[in-house]
Amino acid sequence: MMKRKRNSKALRAGCKGKREASEEVAHFGTSITDVPEPIFKNIVLRLPIRAIIMCKCVCKPWRRVISDPQFAKMHFELAQPCPLVRTLGNARVARMLHLIEPSDVDNYDSFSDSRFAKHLRLNYGRDFYLKLDTKLKIPLRNAEQMPQPHNVSDTKSRLSSERGFKKRCVKVRPKEHKFQIVNSCKGFVCLSEPSSNNPLVVCNPVTGEYLNLPGTDESDNNTEKDMVSCGFGLCEETNRYKVVKMIDQGYFESVYRCPITGEKSYKKTLVEVHTLGTGTWRRIGYAPYYHSKLKFTTYLNGFLHWISLDFGKRILIYCFDLGREEFKSVQLPPLGDYFDPIIRWNNQCNTSLGVLRGSLCLCTWSGYDSLDIWVMKKYGEPKTWTKIVSTYSLCVERWPYCVYQPISFEENKGLLMFLSPKSAFIYYQPENYGRWKYFRILDVKTKYEAIAHVPSLISLKDVLNGDGMEILNINLSEYKLLGETKAIYLQEVIREAETDTDHSPSEGDYD
Amino acid sequence: MLYAIFGVQTFLQRDLELRNLSLFNRRKGFSYLFQKSLLFPFSISFFLSQGFIYLFLLSSRKSSSPAAIMSSSSPKMITLQSSDGETFEVEEAVAMESRTIKHMIEDDCANSSIPIPNVTSNTLTKVIEYCKKHVEAKSDEEGLKSFDAEFMKIDKDTLYDLLMASNYLDIKSLLDLGCQTVADKIKGKNPEEIRKEFGIKNDFTPEEEEEIRKESPWVFD
């Protein structure tokens, strides 16, 4: 009885839809589907990722154009790095990554500066929020250990499924199912096990595909904190993706001299490399000594980089050549004598590494209590380290003192940086009198992390050339986790007074 | 008339010389300054006056002969013919906004009227209006922006025709403007709304729809 009703309802809905659509089609002379493909591609390439995925679901011709690997390549060439935001809360598995697209920032920027917005803010105290709409998913660790949906005999859940809700909320333990993000390279993200940082998965959050990395005997058994440092990157000569991991194995019997720093140490760190598409990890030797945990994994031009603190609290940039599979160090910019890499009150390193405008970038606090951003203009030539921003020379308000992570600095746009301890963003426009905007993620309970990611539609299948590796899709799972539908908002914090009034218009000035 | 102008010119020159001489004399040697002060303002005022004389002559006699120094004073007209037979006369500079027409002119195929088979007269009128404005007000960015915004307040049929015309005629700025306008109409809408906006039929079967729903679930949230 119920089945028949449901079918007829669907039929009626389908027919109605068709009639309506055909009426609408008859109404217009030319249709957008008559527009030739190159123009259509031109239009779609201007859209943010969220809109492109919507367009994919509109009709068959559009789906065909957007699913084409050539189109994905064209799109990736034009794409810019965006922050990928994730909650760090311990109670959550944090499967959702929120992407802040450049068009969101542009729209907000132009809106919040408008006279209307200022008027509302002054007279009605209305605050504006930027809603992070683009949500991408990463897989669950140990997904096979998840409780199966149809096995749960909860009456509540049965009722909700009869009412037509597709998925039910399932409670999971983050300890068993959470992933940690290592780094992003060419649109793909590498995920690792949180406690040991052992790399487990490479995925493309936009298309929802992921690939499990093979396990090794050595690293599977360890549960010690941060025993592994790793990175994921593309070897440009052979066009193969590789994952590198450095496993802490204790100590050597005799002294080992580090080829990079020249220091003598007993620490033994095994290096293994896995090329995506092969089935195993290859041992390539021992890593040069590094004192503290390697942080800020950055991929650039076929090299992986990390920052490490030395005995004498000096900063070192470690670099791994993915082609030759060997380590070397990168010479630092001239940071000055008063430079101190440690934030005294929390013993954190105040220097970070990233990529801005295609060049390696180092953000650090100078001895004069100001933020310096150095960029190596020509890769491989340390003489070309140039300081592109220094808040010391800016006459406006002091920037907050914490760790800054560079996200992007595109042409004609501002510099976007993420302040990890405060879960906030700073958007700085050098042309606009050096003014900066401060956006805070609206959440009092937990902190957030962000990485710079270039969203890409390129499929893992194309990248691996069909090497027989099993590529799985995240979205085929049926679960919905608690708190996943919660929206994240960015709130602009309007600072009360500008210290240097010559550079900025006062609040009463509407021009 | 010429003599009068020449007279004024020499008077002005002498005045300038005298002024400069008195200035420089205080600081440097006489002969060096004499030459410098004479030559510099003399040569500039000479060329400027020649230029003004020529312009004046041309405008008064309305001749179309090519000028010696200032050559852009007489506009060359190009005839364009739309697909439905209507002809439009435009200035060369305006027609050159289209790279297709520009190549035709450079290859010397544009002696009589240029046929533009794919574009109707309505669309061609709009295209010419756009090109004219962009040639006239080239430096005025704010003005162009507001013109573009007003220009794009058209119905969808005209918009698609404009897109295809600007693609055929290879007018990059108009093509970019049109594509951006369509992109702005797509942004922020879910698939059903996009279909409604553009009058697109949903040609997916229910099974395919289910598959799509699984692939990107948050699209339908």
Q: Give the tens place of pLDDT for each residue, A88-100.
A: 877 777 788 888 8
CB contact under 8 A, A475 and B175: no
Q: How many CB atoms lie within 10 A of CB A355?
A: 21
Domain range for A310 is: 79-141+176-473
Instruction: Inform me whether the pLDDT recorded for A445 exceeds 70.
Output: yes
Instruction: Inform me whether the pLDDT recorded for A321 exceeds 90.
Output: yes
Contacts of A62 in chain B (CB under 8 A): 200
Partner-chain residue, chosen from B189, B204, B218, that has the shortest CB–CB distance to A60: B204
- A269 to chain B, minimum CA–CA distance in Å? 41
Residue A478 lies in a domain: no
> Alpha helices, DSSP H only, in B96-155?
99-106, 121-136, 141-151
Measured CA angle at A198 (ends A195, A199), to 5 deg: 130
How many Å apart are CA A43 and CA A321, to the nearest integer?
39
What is the DSSP secondary structure assignment for residue A98, as one 8-state letter?
E
Strand partners, A490: A130, A441
Q: Chain A: residue nearest B221 by CA? A: A485
CB pairs under 8 A between A and B: 110
CB contact under 8 A, B200 and A59: yes
For A111, A306, A320, A367, A382, the CA distances from A317, given in Å and listed in that order, are 40, 6, 10, 20, 12
How many Å apart are CA B108 and CA B101, to the nearest integer?
10
Contacts of B204 in chain A (CB under 8 A): 59-60
CB contact under 8 A, A10 and B206: yes
Among A159-163, A210-214, B143-147, name the one with the lowest average pLDDT: A159-163
How many Å apart are CA A72 and CA A207, to the nearest integer?
11
CB contact under 8 A, B200 and A42: no
CB contact under 8 A, B218 and A56: no
The pLDDT of residue B59 is: 62
Confidence of residue B140 (pLDDT cuts 50, 70, 90): confident
Q: How many CB atoms lie within 10 A of CB B115?
A: 13
Chain centre to alpha carbon of residue A97: 8
List b or e across B164-177, with b for residues whose CB sees 16 or more CB atoms inside 10 angstroms. Answer: bbbbbbebeebbeb
CB contact under 8 A, B186 and A47: yes
Q: How many CB atoms lie within 10 A of CB A103?
A: 19
Instruction: Inform me whether the pLDDT recorded for A189 exceeds 90.
Output: yes
Average pLDDT over residues A152-176: 54
Q: How many domains does the structure of chain A reveal?
A: 1
Confidence of residue A356 (pLDDT cuts 50, 70, 90): very high
Nearest to B135 by CA among B80, B87, B92: B92
Chain centre to alpha carbon of residue B115: 21
Residue A27 lies in a domain: no
Residue A115 lies in a domain: yes
Q: What predicted TM-score, i.e. pTM, was given to this entire model? A: 0.74
| CB contact B210 to A (< 8 Å) | no
For A106, B173, B174, the CA distances from B145, given in Å and listed in that order, are 17, 12, 12
Residue A496 lies in a domain: no
CB A181 within 8 Å of CB B189? no
Average pLDDT over residues A251-255: 74
A502 vs A238: which has the higher pLDDT: A238
| CB contact B152 to A (< 8 Å) | no
- A388 to chain B, minimum CA–CA distance in Å? 29
CB contact under 8 A, A46 and B179: yes
Beta strands A435-441 and A488-492: pairing type? antiparallel
The pLDDT of residue A266 is: 74
How many Å apart are CA A190 and CA A202, to the nearest integer?
4
Contacts of B201 in chain A (CB under 8 A): 18, 21-22, 25, 59
Confidence of residue A13 (pLDDT cuts 50, 70, 90): very low
Nearest to A311 by CA among A270, A276, A262: A262
Chain centre to alpha carbon of residue A39: 31
**Percentage of chain A lying above the pLDDT 70 cut:** 72
How many Å apart are CA B182 and CA A44, to the nearest integer?
9
How many Å apart are CA A129 and CA A37, to the nearest integer?
37
The three-state secondary structure class of A457 is: coil
Residue A479 lies in a domain: no
Tens-digit pLDDT profile for residues B174-211: 999 999 999 999 988 888 899 988 888 888 898 888 88
Confidence of residue A492 (pLDDT cuts 50, 70, 90): confident
Partner-chain residue, chosen from B157, B182, B201, that has the shortest CB–CB distance to A29: B157
Residue type, B35: Q
Tens-digit pLDDT profile for residues B16-70: 666 655 554 455 555 555 555 566 666 676 667 676 776 766 666 554 444 444 4
Residue A74 lies in a domain: no
Report CA torsion sign: A149, A155, A157, A161.
positive
Partner-chain residue, chosen from A10, A27, A475, that has the shortest CB–CB distance to B217: A475
List b or e across A433-464, with b for residues whose CB sees 16 or more CB atoms inside 10 angstroms. Answer: ebbbbbbbbeeeeeebbbbbbbbbbbbbeebb
Residue A166 lies in a domain: no
Q: How many CB atoms lie within 10 A of CB B102?
A: 16
How many Å apart are CA A228 and CA A182, to the nearest integer?
11
Residue A296 lies in a domain: yes
Partner-chain residue, chosen from A27, A33, A43, that has the shortest CB–CB distance to B179: A43
The pLDDT of residue A467 is: 61
CB A204 within 8 Å of CB A216? no
Listed by number, the residues of chain B in 155-174 with a beta carbon closer than 8 Å to a beta carbon of chain A are 156-157, 160-161, 163-164, 167
The CATH number of the domain where A311 resides is what?
2.120.10.80
Nearest to A495 by CA among A435, A443, A422, A419: A435
Average pLDDT over residues A65-69: 91
CB contact under 8 A, A32 and B195: no
User: Phi and psi for B173 in degrees, rounded to 5?
Assistant: -65, -40
